[in-house]
Amino acid sequence: MSQAIEQEVRQTSEDLARSLSWLGPLEQDEIARRFADQHLALRLRMLRSTLDRAAELRAEYSHRYDMLRRRTVALALGTVALAVAATAWIAMRG
């Protein structure tokens, strides 16, 4: 995870802990550390989940693209074959 994100999370955690004025300084530090650790772990899980989903989508769309390309090539070849056969048929009749 980037340094900027870690710094942002740590600052947010410290701000939250400092807002709990009834806690002592050591308790506030502990709250800030625990919140930051949990928040960073959550963000990491979310990032991994997003990357996993991106890989799934890439594989799915790659497969779909391959199928579409095969169909397009088959249609083009069929059209050319039909045009050649029609031209030969017309030439033989004429």
Work out the widest C-alpha separation in the chain, in whole angstroms. Answer: 103
Q: How does pLDDT run across 29-86, given as a tens digit for each residue?
A: 999 999 999 999 999 999 999 999 999 999 999 999 999 999 999 999 999 999 999 9
C-alpha span between 16 and 34 (Å, rounded): 11
What local confidence, expressed as pLDDT, does residue 84 receive? 96
Q: Contact, 35 vs 13, CB < 8 A?
A: yes
